[in-house]
Homo-oligomer: A and B are copies of this chain.
Amino acid sequence: MGRVTNNVGRTNGSPRGVASEELRRHNLATVLEHLHLTGPTTRSQLTVITGLNRSTIADLIGELADLGLVTEGPGAVVSGPGRPSPVVQVRFEGAVVIAVEISVDSMAVATIGIGGHVFNQIRIARARGHFDPDVTVRDIAEMARPLLDALPPHHRLVGVGAAIVGIVRRRDGFVHLAPNLGWRDLPLGELLAEELKLGVPVLVANDSDLGALGEHRRGGLGSINHMIYISAEVGIGCGVIVDGKPLLGSAGYAGEVGHTFVNPDGLECRCGATGCWETEAGENALMRRVHSLGSVSGLAAVDAVAELAADQDPETLKAISEAGRWLGIGIANLINVFNPEMIVLGGLYHRLFDYLEESVVAGAARSIEASRNMVEIRQSAVGQNVTLVGASELALADLIDNPARVAARGTRTGVRSTDV
């Protein structure tokens, strides 16, 4: 049988003993998580993967089926002699979440079921600027309404996950600072919960942290347990996966690399300090090096740069490669610190990856040899919606971790608002 924990160390606080019920919870979670991440699987494959007994798997699947979280169908694929094993798969509508993304250039809302099934999605572009939080929250609720109405009649809604460009306290979704939106000390979690009135938990997290989560879980990263996701919208965001789990830090502020110090000769950053990484490698750093852009700014400027790069404009390529070099230098630092297996670039970096790659790799080469030799730098495989996908994973995590408790906890069987 496998081991739950490993290595030196423990989480401080009361060390808790565990009883059989915890064992059951763990095994239910293991099975459900596998189905959620890997997709349809036969019962016999599950016995091999989990190492559990046939009878136990049968029992676990029975319970998950009773909870409405999985279904069993006849084994589709034929596979040699022996009694065919039924294929188990998640029921998308058995656990649905609302994923929200509040970015610099757009806002998005999606309804996503367990297994990663996207029922529906709305994304609206908006000009950059400072926004009234209440209006934003109301907009989100309005975007969510039709999506909820369009869900299948007997779905079960289990949570809301929101990604936001800012520094967020995990415990309660309190936004400490979101400079790109003009927000500070805003209880976003509470506001969303009040406005949505859905009776389910609302979790809020930093967008890059969720990008990392989305990429790690749905980016086809096989057995990668240590990775770093880096993206740029205006600043530089970063999410880290350590040992298969998101790095949160004490309050959830971990991964705030945009304002790490890399250049004493650098410009003054909007944060007030000098020499921050994002003043060298962020979006603005790139733009200001492309003089031919003139006064265009914001998303239009990004589009223009992408076009110029596609046209092989020398100045633009040089600007990209200069920003890429600094990006690489910062990445080298992260490689030294985390010894990851993979660095994934998203956002603007994803868009410009082809022009960036060479200089980034060159810059990253200054990391220590041992770690450098085992890391791969690549662009996001999930693409534009990683963050939204990550938000859904965040909202689904509680359910997967304890299917019985969360599924039973009611969160009523999703009666459509038109039925009321």
Residues of A within 8 A of B (CB): 1-23, 25-27, 29-31, 33-34, 49-52, 56, 167, 169, 176-177, 213, 216, 221-226, 240-257, 259-265, 271, 273, 329-330, 332-334, 336-341, 366-371, 374, 393-394, 397, 401
Contact = CB atoms under 8 A, between A and B. Distances in A.
Query: How many copies of the polypeptide does the oligomer hold?
Result: 2
A36 to B, nearest CB: 10
B4 A245 contact: no
B51 A22 contact: no
A397 B20 contact: no
A50 B340 contact: no
A64 to B, nearest CB: 13
* Chain A, interface SS category: loop
A340 B371 contact: no
Given A9-B245, A341-B250, A368 B256 contact: yes
A370 B249 CA distance: 12
28 contacts: A1-B17, A1-B18, A2-B15, A2-B18, A5-B26, A7-B246, A9-B216, A11-B225, A16-B30, A17-B51, A17-B56, A20-B23, A22-B23, A167-B368, A176-B369, A176-B370, A177-B369, A226-B249, A243-B245, A243-B248, A248-B339, A251-B374, A256-B370, A257-B336, A261-B262, A263-B263, A271-B368, A273-B366
B249 A7 contact: no
Contacts of A330: 261
A10 B245 contact: yes
The list of the 6 closest CB pairs from A to B, nearest first, reads A2-B16, A249-B339, A9-B245, A17-B52, A17-B50, A8-B397
Given A10-B33, A247-B338, 9 more contacts: A6-B401, A7-B248, A17-B27, A225-B250, A249-B338, A249-B339, A260-B336, A273-B366, A333-B333
A371 B3 CA distance: 34
Nearest to A14: B49
B10 A244 contact: yes
Contacts of A261: 262, 329-330, 332-333, 366
A100 to B, nearest CB: 17
Nearest to A366: B273
A8 B26 CA distance: 13
A176 B373 CA distance: 12
A242 B253 contact: no
Nearest to A60: B17
Given A223-B13, A253-B368, A339-B254, A23 B18 contact: yes
Contacts of A31: 17
A210 to B, nearest CB: 10
A52 B367 CA distance: 48
B260 A333 contact: yes
A266 B330 CA distance: 16
Contact of A397 (B7, B265, B371): B7
A130 to B, nearest CB: 19
A291 B246 CA distance: 47
Contacts of A221: 12
Given A2-B22, A370-B176, A339 B250 contact: yes
A9 B210 CA distance: 12
Given A177-B370, A260-B333, A371-B256, A15 B50 contact: yes
A197 to B, nearest CB: 25
B247 A242 contact: yes
Given A56-B17, A370-B167, A22 B8 contact: no
B22 A4 contact: yes
Nearest to A342: B250
Given A2-B22, A21-B1, A50-B16, A337 B255 contact: yes
A17 B4 contact: no
Contacts of A33: 10, 15
A26 B26 CA distance: 13
